[in-house]
Amino acid sequence: MILTIVNLKPHKIMELDNINGKSTVQRRARILDIINSKGQVNIYDLSKLFSVSDVTIRKDLDNLEKKNMLIRARGGALKAMRVGIDYEFSDKKKKFFKEKQLIGKLAAGLIEDNDTILLDSGTTILEVARNLTMFKDLTVITNAINIAALLGEYDNLRILVPGGYLRKKSFSLIGAQSDESFRKYYCDKLFLAVDGFDIDYGLSTPNPEEAHLNRTMIKMSKQLIVVTDSSKFQRKSLAFICPLESVDVVVTDQYIPEDIKRKLENMNIKVLIAS
């Protein structure tokens, strides 16, 4: 047997390293372009797209997460959102639309006839509202005028809308008048949407007045059900709502990070996965 030893000159080795380095940088830049466009990516699709191994893609995602450019999730990654940004309702509606539909349907399954429920504002809560046609007798309290308008078409519901001034970005009524009105009611279940869901920090939202009203809603409710797509996990927003100890149930999608799911269950919070 003949052994052939190939010697690469130092400058040749350096050239190969530069090529690989450039390829890695370009691939990671492209991954960021995709995730910023779609909101999420998965390892299998990226592996096929770039013709590299799953291990290579995982390293890419881990590297980008360390730079706070994305959030790692089971099987892929999610877009990292900036703290304090208050997006328009129309923009939120486009993000994770399919997941929100599934979450809304699953969350509505927690409601029973003769319940009095409280619906917060938000695109995911709107999907819960779309699934209330099945009930024969239900009382709904909501400060979201778009949700109230939708539910007004259903004959089987009694709808209560507290006062306040209109916050156009969320179509919700907030302020002192709204807060005072909510203190006059008590409900079986509160369905709450959030912009930030952090294991240590708790629940949060970009608007301080909305956060204050959310805390009043929680006080006036027997059970707190948080409905959120997985992009909200491991995120903090500007205004604190409450610690996770106040949460009874979380309804989310299949992309919830496994460690987050496990920690929530260890806190005796029920986690329901819509798929």
Q: Of 133 and 2, which is predicted with more confidence?
A: 133
Q: Which of 28-37, 74-83, 143-152, 194-203 has the lowest mean pLDDT?
A: 74-83
- The mean per-residue pLDDT over the stretch 32-56 comes to 88
Q: How far apart are CA 228 and CA 150, in angstroms?
A: 21
Inter-residue contact 145 to 178 (CB < 8 Å): no
Inter-residue contact 172 to 192 (CB < 8 Å): no
- The mean per-residue pLDDT over the stretch 51-71 comes to 87
Whole-model pTM: value is: 0.69
How many CA atoms are closer than 13 Å to the CA of 243, on its beta-carbon side?
Answer: 3
Q: Residue 194 in 3-state DSSP?
A: coil
Give the model's confidence band at 22: pLDDT under 50 very low, under 70 low, under 90 confident, else very high.
low
Fold designation for 10-79: Arc Repressor Mutant, subunit A (1.10.10)
Residues 138-195: tens digit of each pLDDT: 999 999 999 999 999 888 899 999 888 887 777 888 888 888 988 999 999 999 999 9
The CATH number of the structural domain formed by 89-274 is: 3.40.50.1360
- Annotated domain spans of the chain: 10-79, 89-274
Q: Residue 21 in 3-state DSSP?
A: helix
pLDDT at residue 89 tops 50: no
Same fold yes or no, 10-79 and 89-274? no
Residues 198-236: tens digit of each pLDDT: 999 999 998 899 999 999 999 999 999 999 999 899 888
- The mean per-residue pLDDT over the stretch 19-34 comes to 79
Residues 90-126: tens digit of each pLDDT: 445 446 789 999 999 999 999 999 999 999 999 999 9
The confidence score (pLDDT) of residue 177 equals 87
Average per-residue pLDDT for the chain: 85
